[in-house]
Structure 1
């Protein structure tokens, strides 16, 4: 059994989390008697050992069954290996559905924009052309709209194919070497819908009794997740809304202004968020806001809606990831909270009720008791009403502004600038192509590249693991890419500024400082793992080396949900190792554990590494990169820098406070 009571408490979070604003808000909420996710996590202890090991089965009503030495099989005869594998398959299938469902909304919007049924401009013509060429449908005689419509239909077909056939997105975008590996393993997906359907089918009562066969379906779902739910959805978003634009923004709670109508967008679906951005910038609603006494309307990003809108449209202030949403609400400074789908904890309603904040839900897939529902319907028949819905929603914020209770407003001063909006396209333009980047890698100035991602998990101190891994990596000249929930910690703590290079090694400084680039590149929301994988494929193509041979990896130190399994699998299937501080629930089966941790070295060329110590985890990444570099015959990287970014920043802050005090005494 997994040891109990080894997870951090809220007191540990207050003592050790890297963000001072988080500490302030936790103390403030405790004094006000407001519950947080960390209080609820403490109340769950001790955690169920069967759940932690993955050996609890609830798939039928003859149970639930749990595996022990006394009862090594469930009622149906399923042993620990089968139960653990089935549970992991259902997790993976849920991840495919999560990203796929919100991706389908964008694909439908792209189709509507292309055929004229929606009054939406196609803002990414360069992405349409590039994708059309990849799909083999480019024709100079075709309009952008015609090609966009064909792309939308290909993406939708790959998502929901029922008649077996080629997965066109995968075959057009994936490396040929990888496609052959997947064919040899017989794990090529039919379509995302089909693989989720099949996952639920074979894990149902009395169906698939072979854990190894179930594990193969996990890999099929991993490919469906990668190439339909993630890459397909990202293509649709970039075609419809354009590629990311680099910009400099302010982050963290100290960036909240008090003389504005403050609206937070929280979730993952960009269609209505894009309309809200448009409405909030329009003179009609700005005039109404001024008439209500506000200076302007400001939009704030929570979770991936913030990242996505920020990268596409700018003018969005990123505040917090999903686990920090309730802390953000407790500032009392947000007038409206707009929630769509995924990573929107029901607990936000309890916190909103303590303040004047109104909550609006915008998807039929996700409602919250007590929230007003202004949404697209189940059939998406009202996608053409996005602008009308957006104006109604923004007006709710303007109305709430007049109800703000000044005595309940508490906004910590912590604030940090950050540079955002990196894409493969603008990175290559900055470096002058892939060859200069590859030369930095070969020379050892850049030791390797890690995609540093993942949601947060209270099984480790909030945001600490992400920060510690990042600072250790950049000190060893490892370039980091980031997106999604993990990115908030790195944005807030200065990793996404050129000044963050003070915590980097000499090689990374030599490669990035002349171009005024930060050591961590913000690529957007969690769907933008597609950008990281495209960046990795670009390096592979430029080097002529297969992905499993290169010093590239993915790390999700604090992963917590079904999409996290899919994200790690996406890169594992490419042949890249995944590194984590949280153990997956597979310990109850040595066979399934071996499958996830090490057996895939032979089949996929990659393994899973788990180390609860984030510094040691980063050092294992560095050691792996050094082995790969040696095998490639590339130059050795320099020894690590002596300082770490967090400590350097803390030293500066103390020095500033000391100097500031002396100024007053003089």
Structure 2
């Protein structure tokens, strides 16, 4: 028979092997050997640093890797190679460290843990705990933004509410009385509603879902009994349920996995997006320089890195003030320049002109290795501890701004645990800019190495921009029906050294647009598409004739929508198009692909689209090989309930072809194309 991973679906196969069938729940020796063999073969597909040097699509990455090697500085890619071979039990999800009688691993000799948990339960518990971590990650992001919105609305934080239209539209969606209410009053109410969704403990209506989710989806979720009580509660419940000697039913554990997925989406993504767009505005389509070649010598160079936009917005504002530009020049600089790493950079990029995006989280060390950065502002998430080693090499000052995320050796200027000093945001920003100027003055002897690669990118493709540009979404739908647009794919996610850095994203995008697929992007996966010209109209030369004729000459084939929480923009476009077509979302030629996903938030992002009925496609497997039942549940088990599947193929070219085939099949089913 096929090895366990091959049982899921023919296009999920990594290997074909021999084994014996076991129908019991004890995972006998042959079946355990099957999945360990499957994991071993999967492990052989992992990229090496040399693979990255040979195949990375961005020449700036290659130059920086060689430069870092010459100066004797380790990077993520060196450390990934040093960790090989990765633990088979960890990759399979069949190692349990929840209690302290173990740790336990499932082997032919020991098919159950000390407590009696089998592989199905252990794998389910582990993946649920990962999902709960994702809920917490995006949930903390939402809390920060919503507290800022509430404090700004009530005059406790000196920030203007720039997204007035977003506030008014959201108030109507939530059924608030708007007559005679100021924008600030409505914003405060909206913040309270979304904070309640985040923190509810007493069962009640999840307002964001009730106000915004499609009716047919709400019906599906209610029938499955997966509507969350509140994001905090579901993460709390997930940790309780997976604790030692609590829930022993793997199916019940996976039901909680789905509840956490909805909490992740409607608080962590939608709640964050509403709060951010209300406070800082939606942003407009604009053009930005991208990649390390855009680094400027002679300027006070400040990078913002992480996910929280509140303090970053004030830092950018103060850095552009006459007071600080004058101070910078008095210290020998030509001015102050801001750069973006990860999502803080992307959020700032399309809201404030001239914040130059440089890299996703995995490439942060390479950016620091140019020696061109005077100050690095690190807030939360996707900030690896290793940046401190590189920063010390180049005397770059690193500043942390959140009590949740400290770095040994960094200076700290941020909000306290109680957020009692949120009213001091302006003072904190001024301290940080002052420190950047001091760092510039102290670093004049530091050598700088800047590969000369930069490009212009078109950014800011919100749903609102698309509707304004086309007078609604009907022209986009008409192009889909006519075949000018084969389908729409949201190409997103983190980066993962298991595959060649950024190559999967670039090659998949190249294949998709060549076949007339319109690509949306945001977050870390968007950086290679920004850097390599896919968000530039010059990329029209790479597209199929149909897509090119729809985009004409002024729209790129990849629409950049922002940071990772801006998956809400993509899902909003999908929902609006399906409604315009009079079709269910699950039947539309849409897809989500996060080829290189690598962390707990990545689990939630992919699941969020599958909960809408949209298939997801990946080159990296979830750690579920150790349980055929959990793997089947995660990959194909929700086909009949949610209408979607998780599809994994480590060969990214085959993955792209799989996406195209599935889009074509959906078009035939809709009657838009003949077989």
TM, length-normalised to structure 2: 0.93
Shift of 1:140: 2.8
Q: Please state if 1:150 is matched with 2:225.
A: no
Cα distance in 1, alignment partners of residues 64 and 319 from structure 2:
28
Please, which of 650, 662, 665 is the counterpart of residue 624 of structure 1? Answer: 662
Cα distance in 1, alignment partners of residues 379 and 446 from structure 2:
30
Cα distance in 2, alignment partners of residues 489 and 116 from structure 1:
40
5 Å-filtered alignment, 1:327-476, equals: 327-406=366-445, 408-476=447-515
Aligned to 1:402, what secondary structure does the other structure show? Answer: helix
CA deviations on 1:88-107 (whole Å, 9 max, x unpaired) are: 00000000000110210110
Please, which of 149, 161, 184 is the counterpart of residue 122 of structure 1? Answer: 161
Shift of 1:70: 1.2
Aligned to 1:601, what secondary structure does the other structure show? Answer: coil
Please, which of 580, 592, 601 is the counterpart of residue 554 of structure 1? Answer: 592
Corresponding residue for 1:571?
609
Check the 8 A contact 1:129/1:138 in 2, yes or no. Answer: no
Corresponding residue for 1:248?
287
CA deviations on 1:598-620 (whole Å, 9 max, x unpaired) are: 11101100001111111111111
Please, which of 105, 113, 116 is the counterpart of residue 66 of structure 1? Answer: 105
Check the 8 A contact 1:333/1:404 in 2, yes or no. Answer: no
Corresponding residue for 1:289?
328
Cα distance in 2, alignment partners of residues 105 and 587 from structure 1:
36
Check the 8 A contact 2:157/2:425 in 1, yes or no. Answer: no
Corresponding residue for 2:573?
535
Cα distance in 2, alignment partners of residues 499 and 631 from structure 1:
34
Gaps of 5+ in 2: 1-35
Shift of 1:315: 1.8
Please, which of 547, 555, 561 is the counterpart of residue 523 of structure 1? Answer: 561
Cα distance in 1, alignment partners of residues 639 and 540 from structure 2:
34
5 Å-filtered alignment, 1:257-276, equals: 257-276=296-315
Gaps of 5+ in 1: 638-666
Cα distance in 2, alignment partners of residues 428 and 622 from structure 1:
26
Instruction: Give runs of ≥4 in structure 1 deviating > 6 Å.
Output: none
Shift of 1:407: 5.4
Shift of 1:166: 0.6
Q: Please state if 1:512 is matched with 2:551.
A: yes
CA deviations on 1:190-217 (whole Å, 9 max, x unpaired) are: 0000000000000001000000000000
Check the 8 A contact 1:265/1:337 in 2, yes or no. Answer: yes
Cα distance in 1, alignment partners of residues 283 and 537 from structure 2:
19
Please, which of 581, 597, 612 is the counterpart of residue 650 of structure 2? Answer: 612
Check the 8 A contact 1:226/1:570 in 2, yes or no. Answer: yes
CA deviations on 1:255-302 (whole Å, 9 max, x unpaired) are: 000021000000000000001011111111110000011111000000
Q: Taking structure 1 as reference, are residues 283 and 636 closer, same or farther at Cα in structure 2, changes over 3 Å only?
A: farther
Corresponding residue for 1:594?
632
Check the 8 A contact 2:45/2:650 in 1, yes or no. Answer: no
CA deviations on 1:213-265 (whole Å, 9 max, x unpaired) are: 00000000000000011101110000000012111011000000002100000
Shift of 1:572: 0.3
Q: Please state if 1:218 is matched with 2:274.
A: no
Corresponding residue for 1:650?
none
Check the 8 A contact 2:521/2:562 in 1, yes or no. Answer: yes
Corresponding residue for 1:544?
582
CA deviations on 1:454-490 (whole Å, 9 max, x unpaired) are: 1100000000000011101101100011000001010
Cα distance in 2, alignment partners of residues 313 and 151 from structure 1:
25
Corresponding residue for 2:145?
106
Shift of 1:635: 3.7
Shift of 1:405: 4.6
Shift of 1:373: 0.6
Check the 8 A contact 1:552/1:625 in 2, yes or no. Answer: yes
Corresponding residue for 2:46?
7
Corresponding residue for 2:623?
585
Shift of 1:350: 0.4
Aligned to 1:588, what secondary structure does the other structure show? Answer: coil
Shift of 1:636: 6.2
Check the 8 A contact 2:490/2:593 in 1, yes or no. Answer: yes
Report the more deviating stretch, 139-148 or 459-468.
139-148
TM, length-normalised to structure 1: 0.95
Check the 8 A contact 2:394/2:446 in 1, yes or no. Answer: no
Check the 8 A contact 2:300/2:437 in 1, yes or no. Answer: yes
Cα distance in 2, alignment partners of residues 508 and 17 from structure 1:
27
Aligned to 1:397, what secondary structure does the other structure show? Answer: helix
Shift of 1:69: 1.4
Aligned to 1:353, what secondary structure does the other structure show? Answer: helix
Q: Please state if 1:299 is matched with 2:334.
A: no
Check the 8 A contact 2:307/2:380 in 1, yes or no. Answer: yes
- Superposed CA RMSD in Å reads 1.0
Shift of 1:5: 4.2
Aligned to 1:414, what secondary structure does the other structure show? Answer: coil
